[in-house]
Structure 1
Amino acid sequence: MSPNIAVTTGSWFFNPGARDWACPPAPAEAASFHAGLPGYAPTPLLELPGLAAEWGVGRVVVKDESTRFGLPAFKSLGVSYAIYRVICDHAGETVRPADLPGLREMLGSLPRLDLVTATDGNHGRAVARFARLLGIRAHVFVPDVVSPGAVEAIRAEQAEVTVLADDYDATVRSASEAAESRSSAVLLQDTAWPGYEEIPQWIVDGYSTLLVELDAQLGATGPSLVVVPMGVGSLAQAVVTHYRSREQRAALLGVEPDTAACIQTGLASGRPCTVQTGSTIMAGLNCGTPSSLAWPYLRDGLDAVVAVSDEQAAGAARELAALGVSSGPCGAATLAAARAVLAEAAPSRRAALGLSADSTIALLNTEGAHETRR
């Protein structure tokens, strides 16, 4: 359980050696696979010149994932690639770029395959969507703090949905037990623990397409700072992998709810730990335990983590909406985090992240406004 470390609004943890750490890159075939899917297009990169002027930096941009594959979040990148790898693995095929008709044909020669997952919204909907497109069954477990609209959106994808009066961690355990009880079922979860790491790694690999697109959109200079929502840390793992496997060493800032700061608590204590989560509008970040795969990447390669409140996330979502960006609280938390570091905190935080008047700050908007998810 959690050590005796208090995380409050604005608390941050900084690792001065993060930009010296290096790791191997993500596999290149994930981006090739996504490019062959129907409806694929790079998501927009939006300029926010007013914020750049306010913060005294060169550029502030938002990588807007609110329309990825017609769904309101980035999750479909990891889900689609992981399902592809699961199908190829079951068929004994060497992994290669494939399209949905090819995967459906491959499935026709295999025994029945069902997908099981737990979600706080967007991940489960992405699993349900790609399962429906491939003609396979999906069973999605959801904690009861998820909004009714988000639950109905998953059901609309023809998935079986089980709502539990539990937190996210317990819901993941229930999904895992359900998958283990059926020989046809495969757990497709976006967090890892010892003994369950292959599929979560495929999901992380799938997220790398977002970062390949971001590099192409920014050009040769690349970002000076990337701000990423945390949750269990899987997207942040993809971000660390991308920017710690190349010469250009961007600063990386994670953001968590102040009521579910499992990453910051673990970093401050020097070991991964579980924290008791509370109520938060940042439902997708309301996670009490970091992914076992993500942990070493975050420990060694993440520059800093900051905790924000519901009030800050809601205010950031309103601010982004006024600027023409559709964002839910999880995506908007990146703006709240950047503001906490650049506009409210002591100048030492800006200096620690190596920011100057020429810097480019990239905010990862991981979800659309909640109204778009109904």
Structure 2
Amino acid sequence: MTTTLAHLYLKSELPMTVTSTPDPHLLAFHQRLPGYAPTPLVRAPHLAAALGVREAWVKNEANRLGLPAYKILGASWAVYRELETRYGPFTPWTTLSDLAAQLTPHLPLTLVTATDGNHGRAVARTARWLGLAAHILVPDDMVAARIQAIEAEGARADVIPGTYDEAVAAAARLADERHLVISDTAWDGYTRVPGWVVEGYSTIFQEIDQQLADLGGQQPDVVAAQMGVGSLAMAVVTHYRAPGRQTRVVGVEPTHAACVLRSLQAGALTEVPGPHASIMAGLNCGNTSPLAWPSLQGGLSASVAISDAQAETAMRLLAMDGVVSGESGAAGAGGLLALVSSEGAGCARTRLGLTPDSTVLVISTEGATDPDAYARIVNGADLA
């Protein structure tokens, strides 16, 4: 399936350089969480061949701190920083039990968020670690497996009629002294917590830098980043558009929820009304986070919207490279594949500096979070 120019945005000039330094305590914080280990960085020769590049790397987030997605990095850090801001400073602690004990005088507390799946489960897991309650709001198209996973964390999960964006609005209305909203998207007057979510994701890129050094790999020429509200893509831009880096960043969205792409084309934040019915459930967002927007507008080299069929193709290709990647997880790879087969493929390669000697990086942001769908899409296909 060819990607049309209507589903593609290419920046005509070099993207901006970003100057930002992550909190020096961030990695040490994540290292104290139960089961911390760097997730694998995998060579992907089948993906490289399909893209026509020398080397492709996949950061495989199928098992991050015992959860099947990367979101726990942002959720845990944001919860910690918000709790510290409200009730700290905390005395030195070693385990989460030590930290939870310092919160006892402030109980009961409930963490609240809206989610398309992975972020909500991550907030619920963080709440369970700290002895807090969790109330997770989900859109009405959420598959049962993802709701059940949230409830298995001990959280209350309520289905909100409508889209993810309507669930976000409903979560915001619950905020009070006993209900802390931990959202990964921002709105007017609410940017502090989403900023910490984005910062939390930078652990991924600190790990990648070290892994590439250990494996003798080159820094990537092009990185693909999935975009729902844009928080992960903001983290990618912040890291890879830092001074001294020449990496290009490509943002990827579903065709029917391409709010960043439409905003880039319009030159201003633009809503894509629902319903958003893509199988890439974690990316079914109609509004770009206003916190992420300046970084995306200035730092993306390209933006592409892909179909469900293109995401499925990427899932099967990543499986050939040994990576179990769910529908949203494979979207980054799907976006790069769409770029090299688009009507503007030649122009895209030129603008991105993508050559047979290039190195690319994709982040497989989740594993098989809907196991039945994964089995149908991948295991039912001929991978030979």
TM category, shorter:
over 0.9
Q: 1:263 aligns with which of 246, 260, 266?
A: 260
The equivalent of 1:243 in structure 2 is 240
2 CA distance for matches of 1:257 and 1:134?
35
2 CA distance for matches of 1:76 and 1:50?
29
Q: Per-residue displacement from partner, 1:284-307 (whole Å, max 9, x unpaired)?
A: 101000001000000001111001
Sequence identity percentage:
45
The equivalent of 2:198 in structure 1 is 204
Any idea what SS the aligned residue of 1:120 has? coil
Give me the CA root mean square deviation: 2.0
Any idea what SS the aligned residue of 1:86 has? helix
The equivalent of 1:222 in structure 2 is 219
Native 8 Å contact 2:311 2:331 kept in 1: yes
Q: 2:180 aligns with which of 178, 181, 186?
A: 186
Amino acid at match of 1:200: P
Shift in Å at residue 75 of structure 1? 0.3
Change in CA separation of 1:211 and 1:10 when aligned onto 2, cut-off 3 Å: farther
Shift in Å at residue 325 of structure 1? 1.0
Change in CA separation of 1:66 and 1:60 when aligned onto 2, cut-off 3 Å: same
Shift in Å at residue 178 of structure 1? 1.7
The equivalent of 2:129 in structure 1 is 133
Taking the TM superposition and a 5 Å limit, the aligned residue runs for 1:110-189 are 110-180=106-176, 183-189=177-183
Native 8 Å contact 1:64 1:364 kept in 2: yes
Any idea what SS the aligned residue of 1:70 has? coil
Q: Per-residue displacement from partner, 1:3-46 (whole Å, max 9, x unpaired)?
A: xxxx9687211123343433323323222211121211110111
- Residue 19 in 1 paired to residue 18 in 2? no
Q: Per-residue displacement from partner, 1:162-183 (whole Å, max 9, x unpaired)?
A: 1112101111101111224xx2
Native 8 Å contact 1:227 1:254 kept in 2: yes
2 CA distance for matches of 1:81 and 1:97?
15
The equivalent of 1:70 in structure 2 is 66
2 CA distance for matches of 1:248 and 1:75?
25
- Residue 195 in 1 paired to residue 189 in 2? yes
Change in CA separation of 1:73 and 1:115 when aligned onto 2, cut-off 3 Å: same
2 CA distance for matches of 1:18 and 1:112?
50
Q: Per-residue displacement from partner, 1:267-290 (whole Å, max 9, x unpaired)?
A: 110101211133110111010000
Amino acid at match of 1:138: A
Native 8 Å contact 1:72 1:372 kept in 2: no
Shift in Å at residue 331 of structure 1? 1.2
Q: Per-residue displacement from partner, 1:214-243 (whole Å, max 9, x unpaired)?
A: 111122731111101000000101111111
Any idea what SS the aligned residue of 2:362 has? strand
Amino acid at match of 1:84: Y
Structure 1 runs not aligned, ≥5 long: 1-6
1 CA distance for matches of 2:178 and 2:51?
53
Any idea what SS the aligned residue of 1:19 has? coil
2 CA distance for matches of 1:20 and 1:38?
37
Taking the TM superposition and a 5 Å limit, the aligned residue runs for 1:81-120 are 81-93=77-89, 99-120=95-116
Which moved further from structure 2: 262-271 or 31-40?
31-40
1 CA distance for matches of 2:312 and 2:42?
20
2 CA distance for matches of 1:103 and 1:146?
33
Count matched residues.
366
The equivalent of 1:299 in structure 2 is 297
Any idea what SS the aligned residue of 1:88 has? helix
